[in-house]
Amino acid sequence: MQATRPARDKKKASRLWLIIHSWLALPLWIFVFFVCLTGTIATVSQEIVWLAKPEVRANRPAADAVPLGYDAVLAAVEKAQPGVAVTYIARPVKSIFALDVGVTYPDGRSRSLFVNPYTGAIQGVGGAFDFRYFMRALHGWLLVPFVGASNWGWYLVSALSIPMLGSLVTGLVVYKKFWRGYLHPRLRLRNGARIFWGDLHRLAGIWSVPFIAIMAVTAGWFLIQQILVDNNVTVSTAGVPPIVAREDVPAEGRAKAPWISLDRAGALVREQFPDLSFDFVSLPANAFSHIVVGGRGAYPLIFETANVNPYNGKIEWTRRVSDRSALELVTESMRPLHTGDFAGLWLKLVYFVFGLLLTMMVFSGMMIWTKRTAQATAKLVRGARTGRALDAAGHVGEAAE
């Protein structure tokens, strides 16, 4: 019996280290759960702001009201706030939101205004760091300040793409014939906590397979992209920013440059590119800047732009999908694929639902892991107590003899 005791002690020590290892993995589970939860909230953060702040809503004054043109919006803002310089006007993807109008005041302050698209009335002023940006920053880089272009919080979050992709692959391998879960989903509620959390973990996992793949791949690209940025490597083929030719700029001394109207610029772009929507317009920043008209075309993940000469209406430069390299198409597609913010409200709700499923999958996995580790810990403690009791009894017996 004495010969087997060292082996038994070695086995206990091995089990102890395994339990310690399991408990040390718990913070990783909590961190993954935190990132998934904040990402799910960030997906609909703009919609949450819409519910909480009436000024961001596109309130229609009448059932037959139609949206104003860009020129009418520009005139309404300049009339409401004389001396302000409008820098851009953007129509959100979802029509329930007010226009986003960027302005610069004479004292140099820059703000974003919420403007009613039907009346041109200024409904409110956007904050530099509202709930929407707070949630995206909390999820994306843990609110860690950037040092230059680098941020260890960004690295920490995006690096989760590696275990996420690994768990997807291994989960499909371990869960044999997983497709049966689509045809015959099972969630047992009356068979104990372990059975319930196990069923929920598998059910949430198989229904989230496409979403997990999208999140893992896009987050992985964010990691690669940050590495490239930190090493001053660019994939852009945009080249030198275009400017208006000197001979097209009117002579000095005029009160205001004779720009063509914003609606006219949009019409000229649509004539040449009928598939390009007119989602935003940027006004010239100086005498040599273009009017930039942009929107989504046949490929909805990427914004396309056209630079219009503000003096003669010529389209002098474009940046369309066909102008980008294959690597740029991948790079610029990652963010909208990750956030789902490139279609209507329905897509955001789909992303939100799958985000909840992913969050519940992580939470159920954490519960399973914690319960198993807790049970193993309790078993080890009971074994240690029993061992001490037996040793004490043995010592008493030897003393009695």
Mean pLDDT by groups of 10 residues along the chain of 401 residues: 56 64 71 94 94 94 92 96 95 92 93 96 88 94 85 93 87 77 81 81 86 95 93 89 89 67 96 92 94 93 95 95 93 94 89 92 81 73 61 52 55
- Alpha carbon distances (Å) from 137 to 42, 290, 349: 9, 32, 21
The two three-digit tokens of residue 91, written as one number: 């129509």
What is the model's pLDDT at position 344? 81
The two three-digit tokens of residue 349, written as one number: 């709700």
Partnered with residue 126 across adjacent β-strands are 112
Q: Are 68 and 58 in contact (CB under 8 A)?
A: no
Report the distance separating Cα 139 and Cα 35, nearest Å. 6
Partnered with residue 110 across adjacent β-strands are 104
Q: Are 284 and 330 in contact (CB under 8 A)?
A: no
Least Cα distance to 305 among 281, 330, 285, 272 occurs for 281
Partnered with residue 90 across adjacent β-strands are 100, 280
What is the model's pLDDT at position 329? 94
Q: Is 385 exposed, middle or buried (0-12, 13-18, 19+ CB in 10 A)?
A: exposed
Report the distance separating Cα 153 and Cα 142, nearest Å. 6
Least Cα distance to 244 among 308, 306, 289 occurs for 289
pTM for this one? 0.82
The two three-digit tokens of residue 111, written as one number: 């703000």
- Alpha carbon distances (Å) from 147 to 137, 153, 247, 401: 15, 11, 42, 75
Q: Map out the domains of the chain as residue ranges.
A: 8-46+144-233+347-400
